Amino acid sequence: MNMSGLKKKRIAIVHDYLLRMGGAERVLKVFHEMFPQAPIYCVVYDRNFVNRFLGDANVAGSFLQKTPSFLRKKYKYLSFLIPSAVEALDLSGFDIIISSSSAFSKGVITRPDSIHICYCHTPTRFLWDWTHPYSEQLSKKGVLSVFAKITLHALRIWDHQSARRVDHFIANSENVAKRIEKYYKRNSSVIYPPSDCLLENAEFQANDRGGLYASGSDPYYLIVSQLRPYKRIDIAIEAFKKLGYRLVVIGDGTEKFALKRMCKGFKNLNILGYVGDDILREYYANCKALIFPGEEDFGISMVEAMCFGKPVLALRRGGAKEIVVEGVTGEFFDDSHPVLLADGVRRLNENMANYNRAEIMERAKRFSRNRFEEKIYEFIDDVISR
């Protein structure tokens, strides 16, 4: 990598929203650490979250940052304004723009001679492959649903057109690369996201602190996820109600209180909400296995669990098929139903003695941070040299 050439370039990073922790935010943090002098632009952000997660990073929001905080947290109600907010971000002073996009940030307007590289976590889900279920939800809202559906149509047109502004697409998986080609008619290079951030480049040893951390006498299965409807945490909870095994769910999101209500009266089910990385390491290190009940474009928590040598039970869709090797690093179940997930847990338990911790950790290295950084630097260097 010709770092001297890159150091002369003025770089900016653009992200969609900085409100809560997710896989895309972990990738953003790595971008920030790779390019610490680069300012980070986004549609809206939560200052407390930014301070806790990115420290003293230079973060700037769009004009929507001036809206009341309750609206920023419900940014989907501002969707019709977001394209204008993204386009108003002034990036004219930068030579290289890296957008970390799962929705709108790829639509920024840049100078003709600048280079815009989009690291795409997914084409905008609610506008494309989830548009019909999303429209069904809107249809229950009467007159407002008509306005919402017209807005979705307009956003789809904008989203497709804005993808043409990107000079180079990087997809976070083969699964996403296919969807970029389908919806945006663009080719992309695949660079898997960095998924060993929690290890801090050193193998972490489990610490048995008792209570929820306990391994041994009170083993538990683990879910690490944002708590949103499409993550399908609900089917895992229903399955574990019947199984009776202990399930710990770590994460935050709009479904947190609904999921807690589902768990009421079941001592084997725990919804913990957000926890810091130090505590999260403990949970990964001491869990029996990771449960991944939803369809994801990649699924960074699966690889994080594998970094600790833990097997994974995942829905056989999306990015999981590029991560989990059946019978070696975990098992699959074939549809989003509690009975099928429960059967997957049974097969996981039957094969538990055959999983090799060292082999699982070795396969996780395919998604290491070192490899990610090396590939990103090589990609940018190649783009600059051309």
CATH code: domain of residue 213? 3.40.50.2000
Predicted confidence (pLDDT) at residue 285 exceeds the cutoff of 60: yes
Which range (41-45, 195-199, 245-249, 269-273) has the least confidence?
Answer: 195-199
- One domain for residues 63 and 206: no
- One domain for residues 229 and 338: yes
What's the CA angle centered on 86, arms 84 and 91, to 5 degrees?
125
Output the pLDDT for position 4: 56
- One domain for residues 133 and 20: yes
User: What is the rounded CA–CA span in Å between residue 141 and residue 188?
Assistant: 38
What's the half-sphere exposure (Cβ side, CA atoms, 13 Å) at 97?
Answer: 28
Q: Which residues, at least 6 apart from 203, have a Cβ–Cβ distance to it below 8 Å?
A: 361
- One domain for residues 243 and 363: yes
Predicted confidence (pLDDT) at residue 228 exceeds the cutoff of 50: yes
Cβ–Cβ under 8 Å, residues 17 and 75: yes
- One domain for residues 83 and 216: no
Provide the CA 9 distance to its chain's centre, in angstroms.
28
Share of the chain above pLDDT 70, in %: 89
Cβ–Cβ under 8 Å, residues 338 and 318: no
User: What is the rounded CA–CA span in Å between residue 306 and residue 198?
Assistant: 12
User: What is the rounded CA–CA span in Å between residue 336 and residue 321?
Assistant: 15
Which pLDDT tens digit goes with each residue over 25-37? 989 999 999 999 9
- One domain for residues 118 and 14: yes
- One domain for residues 264 and 187: no
- One domain for residues 253 and 222: yes
Cβ–Cβ under 8 Å, residues 235 and 291: no
The number of residues making up the chain comes to 386
User: What is the rounded CA–CA span in Å between residue 54 and residue 52?
Assistant: 6
- One domain for residues 360 and 313: yes
Cβ–Cβ under 8 Å, residues 226 and 251: yes
Report how many domains make up the chain: 2
Residue 193 is classified by DSSP as: P
- Confidence band, pLDDT 50/70/90 cuts, at residue 202: very low
User: What is the rounded CA–CA span in Å between residue 317 and residue 333?
Assistant: 9
- One domain for residues 160 and 275: no
Predicted confidence (pLDDT) at residue 121 exceeds the cutoff of 70: yes
Task: State which residues form the domain around 174.
Answer: 3-194+368-385
Which pLDDT tens digit goes with each residue over 315-348? 999 989 999 999 999 999 999 999 999 999 999 9
CATH of the domain at 377: 3.40.50
Q: Please state the pTM of the whole predicted model.
A: 0.80
- One domain for residues 17 and 101: yes
- One domain for residues 108 and 256: no
